[in-house]
Chains A and B, each alone.
Chain A
Amino acid sequence: MDDFIAARSQMALSLGFHIIFSCIGMVMPFFMAVSHYKWLKTNDEVYKNLTKAWSKGVAIFFATGAVSGTMLSFELGLLWPKFMDHAGPIFGMPFSLEGTAFFIEAIALGFFLYGWNKLNKWFHWFTGMVVGVSGLASGILVVAANAWMNSPAGFDFVNGQYLNIDPIQAMFNKAWFSQALHMCLAAFTATGFAVAGVHALMILRDRNKEFHLKAFKIAAIFACIGALLQPLSGDISAKDVAKRQPAKLAAMEALYKTEKPAPLLIGGIVNEKDKTVKGAIEIPGALSFLAHGDFSAEVKGLDQIPENEHPPVAITHYAFQIMVGIGTLLLLVSLTYFFTLFKKKPLTEKRWLLKLFVVAIPLGYIALEAGWVVTEVGRQPWIIYGIMRTKDAVTPMPGIAYSFYIFSAIYVSLSLIVTFLLYRQIKMVPVLYNKPETK
């Protein structure tokens, strides 16, 4: 394996792994806080048990997210030292703030997990909320740093020199808001569907119905609101990308030729050699509308971009299709769920709906990863868009392939263990939470 490819693969793997754990770690605390609130208000033991059960999940995910995040803060240098040499002082601001947010999150989690019966009950609830809020803040800050790679700002690039560095301006780059919004909604949607789906499965299997039903309702409402809002945020992102990174947009839609008006392609097989797309469904003018809000606008194709600045088209296009496809599907599930809320029939009798949620368990995360692929692969060959190429940033150390194999093995085994642990947590729900007071 080529060192450059190995470095990129290792980075992709680490981020792909970290992204799931950090999303769960930043969203679950909010579910927990809702359930905790209900317990404090209603004194219903089920809510207390649910809060405790979820908090164990949060502890597992937080720890895994924290170590994989630590790993990443080193990996930036281990794999891309030449990038960090220049970029560190420019885009470091969100990271230094993120350090604070993350620290507060860790402290609050300590209070929350060990604070049962030791703290004032509302202070205890508050620490749980702090976990969520600071987790969300960390997420937004890290995405802001990534947005800078897509939309470099806060410096002047003169003859290969990075001058007049302004880290604040770099943090508030043009892409930060659209990317952070999209990521946060994705985190809520994906985690909401995954959690709701797992509890739906338990309801279908007739285990601790009351417990799982309450859990399902909390998670599902977050998931469905997220899924409803996501298309709006997607629209903001699409228009933003069209303006700033035409090459990425062209790759997303496999638009090889500049067209006016440009059609939207759904599906299709990309042939990168012949620069053609076969078998796609074309919606005339739709891409023009999505990118520029005008059905007859011109959309820049890859033909207007130098060949050596083309991102890999097929991967970007497929990933984009997967993301949008799943997004639409989840939107439909959400709408269905909201409609069924008006019917008085209890949820337990709507087995088909629960089954729909079970199917959706992995979908949100698949879409989230696909979206990540779109933004990262779509930026290639640049590591800092228009400024530095990824291949110029890679470490001079040979043998990165071995590092990639080792870390792959670690991440795969960690994923397996975490899945196994969750399976056990869920299996033990009847034993742990059937009695009214358990510890």
Chain B
Amino acid sequence: MTQVQHMHANRNKIKISLGDRIFNVINVLLFIVITLVILFPFFNIFAISLTSNVEYMREPYILWPKEPTLEAYQYIFSTSLIPRSYVLTIFITLSATLLSTLITSMLAYGLCRGDLRGQKFFMIYLLITMFFSGGLIPNYMNITRTLGWSNNLLALIVPNSVSVFNFIIVRSFFRQLPPSLEESARIDGANEWTILFRIIYPLSIPTLATIAMFVAVGTWNSWFSAMLYMRDEKLFPLQLIVRNFVVHEARPADMQNMEGLRDAAGNRIFLNETGLKMACAVATVLPMVVVYPFIQKYFEKGMTIGAVKG
């Protein structure tokens, strides 16, 4: 970053020609357009989710509702489905992230110095899985038949807990740490577990955060495993509920009954299907959008390590 700033500081000293100025203006405008194109769809689903059915039916189109209402949100959070799924998705995401970060970093630390007997075998053993797997049906049968994990949350948490890509990122970071750190601790009689947890982890928080974020985002956004392994709607994560609702246009069983919806005056409230769908989508995407700016720098870092080191 400092290099870029330095570069721009240098460039700013240079006298700017008219052509350059025109280019600068066009460039700035271009990026305003690009950012608007990216942000508008998010704004749009939010607007629809706040629109009452009356207004939705009345207006030919709606950019922003005249009387925004939270009815759709009140309704989806009054069903048992969405709040339960929220808790469930958070639980799955947290446990998958914790498990994966722990197992992957332990693996990376154990194999980071390259002098373990069988090192080469273990590396090949791991790397093979990067480009060859059983495939969809063998995996499916392994989890449902051999392990019997249908309708079991373990099927959403454990199977991806070793990511070879993340393993490589952490391992290449551990390799850059000076070996003297471990050696002095070893002389003091600490074993490798103690060294990893007391010395290495505190030094590696940004890298661990990076892979934790990769796993967390991947888990939060995943729907396919849940579709394969979960039969019970009670165990569906948010993405799968939204997928069934929006992509397959099948309203969840829990949202069939809307007769109890009344406004303050006791009149029945009608909700429109699109508003309901978009409220579910907003509820699903909101945690990601809120958390994202805080984790952005970790991702940038992880991507560059991952691409440079492979």
Q: Do chains A and B stick together as partners?
A: no
